[in-house]
Amino acid sequence: MFMARSIVAGNWKQNLEFYDASDLAGSLRVESFTSDEVVVCPPFPFIYDVSERLKDTGISLGAQDCSQYNGGAYTGEVSATMLKSLNVKYCILGHSERRQYFGDTSEILRVKFANARNAGLEVILCCGETLEVRKSGDHTAFVLRQLEEVMKDQDSQMLEDLVIAYEPIWAIGTGETASPEQAEEMHAAIRDFLKTKFGDPYAQDTPILYGGSVKPSNAAELFACKNIDGALVGGASLNALDFMQIASVS
């Protein structure tokens, strides 16, 4: 029987300064982790140091984005191949903050996706609806359309090792979490979508993470849901104890 591995990933976003980031990475202890994999995604400038701090811990390294360009005269950009050369395993793509503030359209995300995969990175592909869309009742179709637009016409090798993160925008950084029922309903729809498009083994094998104000007090009830395979954690990943507690629940 196929079953997705559980993952807890921390997205540090644009937070911390060098020594705080280094201390945070250095204080993560894996002994109690029950999640199959734990990932941290620091800001770009801290990636090398954090990778040194995480050496031999078994914690994986992720990046929060990558460039749509593979290299050259693109001031300020960081390519997927640069990330790969720093031992980065995962790359978050399509986070709602990138879509909302930096113009990451589905077209751009398709290019970033291809760049990440060609460089050998595993993609954590984010999707999620606004409060307005949820209130309209169109949230499931909206989220599946977001996935479809990035995944369509990608060959099967490109889609290997995919991780999906469902993050309702109204629950990100707001303290408001989707109820386990709301989250599970969407995760089941995403699993069904993957099954219809790519077959049951692929659907069962693909981790689907929930993101949106996950904290130690709500992680257990979310992770108890059949189709929730872990979490993408923002705010609570900046506190080592909270993050370790979340990774010890799944």
Least CB distance from residue 2 to ligand PEP, whole Å? 26
Beta bridge partners of 62: 90
**139 catalytic residue (yes or no):** no
Q: How far is the CB of 56 from ligand PEP (least distance, A)?
A: 27
Task: Please give the C-alpha separations between residue 39 and each of 53, 105, 137, 232, in angstroms, as whole numbers.
Answer: 13, 25, 33, 9
Q: Which residue number has the CB closest to ligand PEP?
A: 234
Cα–Cα–Cα angle for 164, 122, 20, rounded to 5 degrees:
90
Q: Which one, 133 or 231, has the nearer CB to ligand PEP?
A: 231
For residue 247, give the nearest of 215, 224, 206 by alpha carbon: 215
Return the axis-axis angle of helices 18-26 and 47-54, rounded to nearest 10°.
20
- 167 given a catalytic annotation: yes
Distance CA 40, CA 46 (A): 11
225 contacts 247 by C-beta, under 8 angstroms: no
CB of 175 to ligand PEP, least distance (A): 8
Closer CB to ligand PEP, 59 or 92, in the complex: 92
Nearer to ligand PEP, 62 or 211 (CB): 211
Selecting among 37, 97, 129, 167, the annotated active-site residue is 167
Nearer to ligand PEP, 24 or 214 (CB): 214
**Which residue ranges make up the site for ligand PEP (CB under 6 A)?**
11, 167, 172-173, 211-214, 232-236
Catalytic residue among 95, 129, 139, 184: 95
Query: Considering beta carbons, is residue 14 or 75 the nearer one to ligand PEP?
Result: 14
Q: Which amino acid is at 49?
A: D
CB of 215 to ligand PEP, least distance (A): 8
Smallest gap from residue 219 Cβ to ligand PEP (A)? 11
Burial 26-49 (b: 16+ CB within 10 A, else e): eebeeeebebebbbbbbbbebbeb
Please identify every residue annotated as catalytic: 95, 167
